[in-house]
Structure 1
Amino acid sequence: MAGSCRTLIPMLPAQARATPDWQQPWPLLVAILAGLAHTLSFAPTPYGGWLEIATLTWFYTLIAYRRTLCATLVSACAFGFSHFASGVFWLYISMHVYGGMPAIIALTALILFALYLAAWPTLAAALWYFCSATRSDIMAAPPSIHWRSSLAFASAWALSEWLRGVILTGFPWLASGYAQVAGPFAGYAAVIGVYGVGWLLAFNAALIGQMLIAAFKRGKWVLSAPLIIFVTCITGGSAATKVAWTNPAPHAPLTVRLLQGNVQQEIKFEQQGVDMAIALYQELITAQPADLIITPETGIPVLEQDIPESFAYTIRDFADKTGSAIIFGAAGATLTPTGPVDLTNSLFGVTPRSPILYRYDKHHLVPFGEFIPWGFHWFVALMKIPLGDFARGPAIQQPFFVGAQPLALNICYEDIFGEEIARTLRQTPIPAGILVNATNLAWFGDTIALDQHLQIAQMRALETGRPVLRATNTGATAIIGYDGRVEKKLTTFSIGSLEARVQGRVGVTPYITYGNMPVLVVSLLLLAIFAAQRIKMLYIR
């Protein structure tokens, strides 16, 4: 094992030695395997948080060994492409199986989207390459730890993940911090959020990677600093999980019932499916009273104005007689003489003995599914997706009250944007004590999308210190405690009602107060300092 890493080069075939660094096949294969392993770090893999430390260490070590910028970027792109193509392959199911798009077009769309997502880890590698210590410094003898390289990698990684979550309306799915909801860094989520957790993860991965590089090239282990920091971070994360940032609300716990109808996506918006869904949810709602009863997103798959009177009267009468508050999903619209306009994906709340119907309109819409980007109407026309162009609800909407307990509602995709949920809690006069997510993931079939989305909801509970209620069409319908643990869950692809007593919370976590600002400020400041130093060094040369 001793000797310079350059001794690897003579071991390769003569043809490989003559091949430019970025064209050599073996680093690409290693990068692809690392990307696939990174996908396995996320749900439903148990202990994925520990696996993710290994895969990010793998990624850092890989790009640190590349000799040129071009080779570094190619490896990063291969890593990102294999990770995202395998991690969001369920989009193909949505487009082809349920959307009716021709297979070749759906596959092409998935490949192009994975390439776009791969641009973000590639950007992280480019920033790291420019801002970190030079490769000759990292590989130099005697072996040592280069803090600048580790800090630059963590900052570039966190910044690129944040940019992926905001550019072009954002797609923060599979942000690295999500794999840590049951991992060693979970305790930091309430303080620095999912991107801050990703920063810590990348920092430790870089330190471990440098330790491995030093051991490989010199046959010596540089143990002290990396291991001390790694153990300190893990110990701190464990201790942080015991900090109660929020407290039980003074109100009594709510009895809740979360409904899962398992309505087949193929018929959901056909008349047969509409009639079946309305009858099914009327039966499930009125089966038993509770303080709060919730249906999934578009559980009633019609416009608000087209809800049958028999359903409306039955639900109102049940609410008044039993004292049950009911939240159901349907499409909203503004009526005009020419017909309904400004369609919205909405949740409606019925309060006992109150004539006022609460309404929440989805704010963060899904591109192509709920709004059509300019120039892509032809693409959406290839899919059989009804109501493909919705109006956007306000960014901040008032909570729904069940007695004295306020609830913050969001619909499906919205709960992957932690900053927006934190902003709602931060800017409402009475912050909600319980988060409610109504969703329909039937578009993605029996895939890892269901487990991944549940993992995202667990991170929202950790960040806000509040329980999360998830009512879904096919799964995973679940009750998540304020500590991020899944307390109860229905079997996926079954019809049922999940019942529990849920205690609201009061107080705010540091993440609610500051959002993503701390990790962004630290990352940008460090990268700016390192970039200025590198530019100065190049200028002097």
Structure 2
Amino acid sequence: MLDSHSSKKLLSNHALVFLMLFILGILIALAAELPFGGWVQIPLLSLVWWRLSTLGTITLKKYFLLGLVFGLGYFVVGLWWLYISLHDVGGMNPLLSCMAVFLLSSYVALYFSVACLSIRLFKTSYLSGLLLASIWVVSEYLRGELFTGFPWMGFAESQVNGPFASIAPYLGGLACTFLAVYTSWQILQLKQHFLHYASTLLLVAFITFLASLWSFTKPIGEPLTVELIQGNFPQSMIFRPEGVLRQIQFYSTTMTQSDAELIIAPETAFSWPENDLPIGLLESLQHFSNDTNSNLLFGVIGRDPSSPSGREFSNRALGLLPSADPYRYDKNHLVPFGEFIPPGFHWFVNAFSVPLSDFARGGAEQANLMIRRKNQDPLYAAITICYEDVFGGELASRIRNNAEPTNLLINLTNLAWFGKSQAPAQQLRLSQLRSLETGLPALRATNTGITAVLGPNGKVLASLPEFTQATLSAKVQGYSGKTPYVIWGNFPILSISCLLLIWGIIRQRRF
């Protein structure tokens, strides 16, 4: 039995372990914002595995709590901008806003906790790194699927600035996560069997290098001239009558002053129901499109009083095309609490001011935007609105199943909800990952930033400074073809991970 002094020492040691893991979670989250964040995160993850693997035979409950504390440090820092939308913009009570951020961070940290348990449950062997990486992939996949999914702040998007970006076109972001976790574990083992683990690291590096030598999409047609409009309207005025009119005036005037083939304004640029917009506005924009052969795309509030769901409003992208019927895309993957209210949570939404917070959901397989061009074949663009570009598997499925080819990606976003935070940079990395996975260029038209043009390799080709009212003019090359990830989605990496876990469980029971 431990004496009083020994008990106090043990408790103190445990407290230091909890503190260390919490700080490591914070550092790994902060590392994502660095220019080479994907590289920096890997040795920091090695420290997490080292601390967890040297704790001896502590209880599963305590191990689970340690993983939870690590996840909390990571997500509280990574998602703190939600406080801005709830309190600063939505007017929610500060304590309730902090509690909401903490509870969401705790929920997503649970997936980290479950993944960390593999270090305790499986016997240490050459399989340990593979099993840790596999359970991490499965946990991250589930985080993106359960309760409508919230895969924000995974390790994958940091790899756009890391060593495993070239794997994304083959197996997607989850495979980047797999290799980041696996590599960080192998680095930890170098002190035990240097030659064995160094050789596996060299093999991973060689495979990654080989993967970078192939591309699966190729340029098609002449470059497209585009103009992206960044209005920089504060969220506090977006749904006020005077603010709505100012936005409509600015965006409509700016669009009609452009000579680009494709002109894009952000999500809810016209923050008013489409059928209630000022008389003659859409007609005049359609005439402009017909006369100049320009394609216009901008955000509006869709309205369908006969919607089967009983929700008549939708978050819509409206396209006005030369001598053609208007194009409409209604957002499919809605944000919980911001765009739809889960059953039993109306009290929470009522605690802060979010206009139109219960949208109708668009179809999962909507048509691409056809960009009409004079004396050239049209180009086809897959549209996403804001949060939708978090879900790589859904976008890959849309491209795979669409009747028309997809030549570029377009995302319309309004991140004014989150003020001066890291949220715009986080979403930019997610868009970069989507370009990597699909091998397609991307256009991002945002209200406050980051408005940008991305190449098919995910690199930022041009961008606007945040919180400025400006336009970004560029030439964008369309691409054709499908990457292995678009063809197969997450099936290969999930199959590999599940088979490895089954192998690990069988081996555990056998020995």
TM-score, normalisation: structure 2:
0.95
- Residues 65 and 269 of structure 1, relative CA distance in 2, 3 Å threshold: same
- Could you tell me how far 1:38 is from its partner in structure 2? 1.0
- Residues 341 and 119 of structure 1, relative CA distance in 2, 3 Å threshold: closer
Matched, 1:224 2:198: no
> Residue 50 of structure 2 aligns with which residue?
61
Kept in 2, the 8 Å contact 1:184–1:238? The answer is no
Identical positions, percent: 37
Kept in 2, the 8 Å contact 1:297–1:347? The answer is yes
- Could you tell me how far 1:15 is from its partner in structure 2? 4.6
> Residue 234 of structure 1 aligns with which residue?
205
> Residue 130 of structure 2 aligns with which residue?
151
Selected match of 2:289 from 297, 310, 319 = 319
Matched, 1:381 2:360: no
> Residue 490 of structure 1 aligns with which residue?
464
- Could you tell me how far 1:310 is from its partner in structure 2? 3.7
Determine the C-alpha separation between the residues in 1 that align with 2:446 and 2:346: 29
Matched, 1:411 2:411: no
> Residue 7 of structure 1 aligns with which residue?
none
Letter in 2 for 1:519: I
Letter in 1 for 2:195: S
Selected match of 1:80 from 68, 71, 76 = 71
> Residue 148 of structure 2 aligns with which residue?
169
- Could you tell me how far 1:152 is from its partner in structure 2? 0.9
The 5-angstrom pairing of residues 53-452 of structure 1 reads: 53-67=42-56, 68=58, 69-130=60-121, 132-133=122-123, 138=124, 146-212=125-191, 214=192, 222-249=193-220, 251-335=221-305, 341-354=311-324, 356-403=325-372, 404-452=378-426
Kept in 1, the 8 Å contact 2:190–2:198? The answer is no
- Could you tell me how far 1:54 is from its partner in structure 2? 1.2
- Could you tell me how far 1:314 is from its partner in structure 2? 2.5
Aligned to 1:457, what secondary structure does the other structure show?
helix
Matched, 1:26 2:16: yes
Aligned to 1:29, what secondary structure does the other structure show?
helix
Determine the C-alpha separation between the residues in 2 that align with 1:277 and 1:84: 34
Determine the C-alpha separation between the residues in 2 that align with 1:459 and 1:113: 24
> Residue 39 of structure 1 aligns with which residue?
29
- Could you tell me how far 1:88 is from its partner in structure 2? 0.4
- Residues 532 and 18 of structure 1, relative CA distance in 2, 3 Å threshold: same
Determine the C-alpha separation between the residues in 1 that align with 2:311 and 2:165: 44
Kept in 2, the 8 Å contact 1:278–1:300? The answer is yes
Determine the C-alpha separation between the residues in 1 that align with 2:394 and 2:267: 19
Determine the C-alpha separation between the residues in 2 that align with 1:232 and 1:487: 32
> Residue 480 of structure 2 aligns with which residue?
506
Selected match of 1:531 from 491, 505, 508 = 505
Say what the alpha-carbon RMSD is for the aligned residues.
Answer: 1.7
Aligned to 2:133, what secondary structure does the other structure show?
helix
> Residue 217 of structure 1 aligns with which residue?
none
Cα deviation, 1:236-270, whole Å, max 9, x if unaligned, reads 32342332211112x22110011100011011100
Determine the C-alpha separation between the residues in 2 that align with 1:162 and 1:416: 12
Determine the C-alpha separation between the residues in 2 that align with 1:322 and 1:18: 75
Cα deviation, 1:144-168, whole Å, max 9, x if unaligned, reads xx32111111111111111111111
- Could you tell me how far 1:127 is from its partner in structure 2? 3.5
Determine the C-alpha separation between the residues in 1 that align with 2:186 and 2:306: 62
Aligned to 1:349, what secondary structure does the other structure show?
strand
- Residues 42 and 280 of structure 1, relative CA distance in 2, 3 Å threshold: same
Letter in 1 for 2:39: W
- Could you tell me how far 1:193 is from its partner in structure 2? 0.6
Aligned to 1:503, what secondary structure does the other structure show?
strand
Kept in 2, the 8 Å contact 1:468–1:482? The answer is yes
Letter in 1 for 2:500: L
Kept in 2, the 8 Å contact 1:161–1:172? The answer is yes
> Residue 219 of structure 1 aligns with which residue?
none
Aligned to 1:301, what secondary structure does the other structure show?
strand
Kept in 2, the 8 Å contact 1:185–1:233? The answer is no
Letter in 1 for 2:77: S
Kept in 2, the 8 Å contact 1:400–1:408? The answer is yes
Runs (5+) with no aligned partner, structure 2 = 373-377
Determine the C-alpha separation between the residues in 1 that align with 2:138 and 2:253: 48
Determine the C-alpha separation between the residues in 1 that align with 2:342 and 2:119: 32
- Could you tell me how far 1:344 is from its partner in structure 2? 0.8
- Could you tell me how far 1:336 is from its partner in structure 2? 5.5
Determine the C-alpha separation between the residues in 1 that align with 2:305 and 2:340: 20
Determine the C-alpha separation between the residues in 1 that align with 2:283 and 2:404: 31
Kept in 2, the 8 Å contact 1:77–1:118? The answer is yes
Determine the C-alpha separation between the residues in 2 that align with 1:510 and 1:59: 33
Runs (5+) with no aligned partner, structure 1 = 1-12, 139-145, 215-221
Aligned to 2:316, what secondary structure does the other structure show?
strand
- Could you tell me how far 1:515 is from its partner in structure 2? 0.7
User: Aligned residue pairs: how many?
Assistant: 499
List, as ranges, runs of 4+ consecutive aligned residues in structure 1 with deviation greater than 6 Å.
none
Letter in 2 for 1:62: R
Cα deviation, 1:6-48, whole Å, max 9, x if unaligned, reads xxxxxxx845544497xx11111110111011102313x1110
The 10-residue stretch of structure 1 (327-336 or 187-196) with the greater mean CA deviation from structure 2? 327-336
The 10-residue stretch of structure 1 (414-423 or 173-182) with the greater mean CA deviation from structure 2? 173-182
Cα deviation, 1:426-467, whole Å, max 9, x if unaligned, reads 001222110000000000001000100000000000000000
Kept in 2, the 8 Å contact 1:281–1:295? The answer is yes
Determine the C-alpha separation between the residues in 2 that align with 1:531 and 1:244: 37
Selected match of 1:473 from 437, 442, 447 = 447
> Residue 375 of structure 2 aligns with which residue?
none
> Residue 5 of structure 1 aligns with which residue?
none
